[in-house]
């Protein structure tokens, strides 16, 4: 059986500042490094290791992937461009407090995050679903069995989960928070509502 584990990166500088990072490439904070070690230690304690580790090319994800791989004695992470965060378009670098002002009414409010839907130049969530499908097809073609770790980001990570389980993306946006260093399991014997493996105490969005 193929098991796909999906992790979000640890806290980075933009997260602390409340900045919409998208493709911005800021490193992990000290807290982000701690979060990566925490999920890595929990994974090791659960006797989970990975046959291969794929990471987004952005440094916040790759740093997280390296820590998890080293702790669990898994292979050195490989870059997978399809795991990169959503392109935020004109919202890149804006403060999260600007979302409603600049993007309403085309927003969806969740408990913790307000999602913008289609600002100029941004990938939409249907765009991300298509990218997620390409990614999942690629992984399933290359790996019939095994434990695979994908280290990615908030928006695209949620859409990988959504596409895997064939869910409604609008509902998923408000269903749960995919926090820093949370770990999900996507597999045939793990239902959508049982996918969280580890959920960390969050200090930011």
Give the separation between CA 160 and CA 204, rounded to whole angstroms: 22
Can 9 be counted among the known catalytic residues?
yes
Is position 85 annotated as part of the catalytic site? yes
Rounded distance between C-alpha atoms, residue 109 and residue 69, angstroms: 34
Q: From the candidates 63, 80, 85, 163, give the one annotated as an active-site residue.
A: 85
Contact 31, 11 (CB under 8 A): yes
Q: Residue by residue, what is the 3-state secondary structure of 102-156?
A: HHCCCEEECCCCEEECCCCCECCHHHHHHHHHHHHHHHHHHCCCEEEEEEECHHH
Structure tokens at 125: 């969530």
As a three-state string, the secondary structure of 82-106 is HHCCCCEHHHCCCEHHHHHHHHCCC
**Residue whose tokens read 């794929």:** 54
Indicate which residues carry an active-site annotation: 9, 85
């Amino acid at each position: 059986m193929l098991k796909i584990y999906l992790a979000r990166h640890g806290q980075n500088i933009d997260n602390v500042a409340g900045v919409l990072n998208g493709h911005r490439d800021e490193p992990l904070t000290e807290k982000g490094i701690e979060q990566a070690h925490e999920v890595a230690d929990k994974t090791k304690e659960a006797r989970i290791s990975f046959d291969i580790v794929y990471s987004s090319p952005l440094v916040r994800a790759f740093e997280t992937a390296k820590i998890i791989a080293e702790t669990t004695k898994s292979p050195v992470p490989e870059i997978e461009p399809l795991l990169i965060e959503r392109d935020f378009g004109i919202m890149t670098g804006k403060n999260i407090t600007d979302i409603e002002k600049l993007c309403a009414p085309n927003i969806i409010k969740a408990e913790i995050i307000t999602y913008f839907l289609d600002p100029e130049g941004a990938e939409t969530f249907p765009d991300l679903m298509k990218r997620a499908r390409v990614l999942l097809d690629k992984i399933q073609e290359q790996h019939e069995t095994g434990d695979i770790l994908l280290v990615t980001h908030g928006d695209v990570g949620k859409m990988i989960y959504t596409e895997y389980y064939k869910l409604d993306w609008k509902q998923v946006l408000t269903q749960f928070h995919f926090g820093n260093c949370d770990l999900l399991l996507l597999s045939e014997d793990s239902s959508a509502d049982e996918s969280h493996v580890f959920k960390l105490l969050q200090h930011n969005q």
